[in-house]
Amino acid sequence: MRMGKAKIQYHPAFASGIELLMWEYQASLVIETEHELSRKPLKMDLLIIKKKEDVDIENEIGHIFRGHNIIEYKSPSDELSIDQYSKVMAYAFLYKALGKTVNEVPAEEITVSIFRHAFPRKLFKSLQDSGGSVEKASEGIYYVKGPLAPFPTQIVVMKDLPPEKYTVLRILAPGADPEDIRRFVLQSSESQESGYRRNVDAVYQVSVSANREVYENLRKEDQAVCDALRDLMKEDFLRVEEEGKIMGAVEIMREDGKDDRAIIERLMSKYDLTQEEAEKYVLVTV
C-alpha cells in the first residue's frame, strides 16, 4: 500500500490557534472563520468582532483591535506580494460596503491583520516604495502606515513572535523549534475544557504533520511529552475497542525492527484504521 503525501490544511489550525490566544476574551468576541463577503464564494480567513467596546485585548496581536477585525493568514507555501496585500484591503472595503444599512460598519472601526511565517521583505519594500512606512511595534509585529493602509494594519511574522506567549502560532510550520513544541504539548494537555481541547487538537494535527520527526524525537527522549501526547489523544483511543491490541502490536513491530512507515501501513491494513489514526498510535506508543 502506498501512502500519498497529503496536503496539510493549515488554515483551520491557524484559526484554532487564534481562538486559543483569545480564549480569555471569548465572552467579548465573536470569531467567524471564512466570513462570506457576498453570495459568491468570496471569503475572509477570519473575522473577529468585539461585542464589548470597553474590552482591551492585552496581548500584542490584539492591541490594534477595534470593532471589526479582518484576519488574513498565509500558510508556509503561500505568497505575500503587494497584490495579495491589496486583495486583503479589498476584502476590508467590501466588508464595509456590504453592510445591511449605510455605514453600518464605520471605517474607523475596521482593522486588518495579515499573518505569515516568514519575513515578507519584498512586500515591505513595495509598501515603502509606494510612499508608506513599516514600523516594528514589537517582536514579530509590524504596523503599516501610508496610502496603502486605509485601516489600522499590522503584519505578523509568526516565527519571530515571542515563544513564551505565541507558541501556538510558531509551531504551525515545518522547522518548528522543539522547545516550542514541547511547551505547547505540556501546556495544552493541562486543560480539560472541551472547546479549548478541540482547538488544541486542530493545531496539534497540523503541527505533527509539518514536524513529525521533531515530535518523534521528543516522544522518545522526553517522558513528560510522551505522557502529555497520550493524554491529548485519549478521546481518540477510547473510540477504538482494540486499543490495547493495537498499541501492543506497535510495540512488537518496533521490537522486530520495522520502521514507522511499515507499522502505519500494517495498522491500516489489519485494524482498518485511517492513516491519521494509525499515525497517532505510532506517535504515542513507546
Domain co-membership, 180 together with 122: no
1 falls within a domain: no
pLDDT the model gives residue 235: 55
With a cut of 90, say whether residue 41 has pLDDT above it. no
**Which of the four pLDDT bands, split at 50, 70 and 90, describes residue 1?**
very low
Residue 78 carries which side chain, given as an amino acid letter? D
pLDDT the model gives residue 92: 95
Domain that holds residue 189: 173-284
**Torsion angle defined by CA atoms of residues 237, 238, 239 and 244, in that order, rounded to the nearest 10 degrees:** 60
Domain co-membership, 136 together with 179: no
- pTM higher than 0.85: no
4 falls within a domain: no
Domain co-membership, 24 together with 85: yes
End-to-end CA distance of the chain: 25
Q: Report the domain count for the chain.
A: 2
Residue carrying the nine cell digits 516522544: 219
99 falls within a domain: yes
Distance between CA 286 and CA 102 in Å, rounded? Answer: 61
**Structure-model confidence comparison of residues 165 and 43, the more confident one:** 165
Which among 271, 279, 267, 167 is positioned nearest to 219, based on CA atoms? 279
Buried/exposed 129-149: b ≥16 CB within 10 Å, e otherwise: eeebebeeebebbbbbeeebb
154 falls within a domain: yes
CATH code for the domain in which residue 138 is found: 3.40.1350
With a cut of 50, say whether residue 240 has pLDDT above it. no
Instruction: Indicate the SS3 state at residue 179.
Output: helix
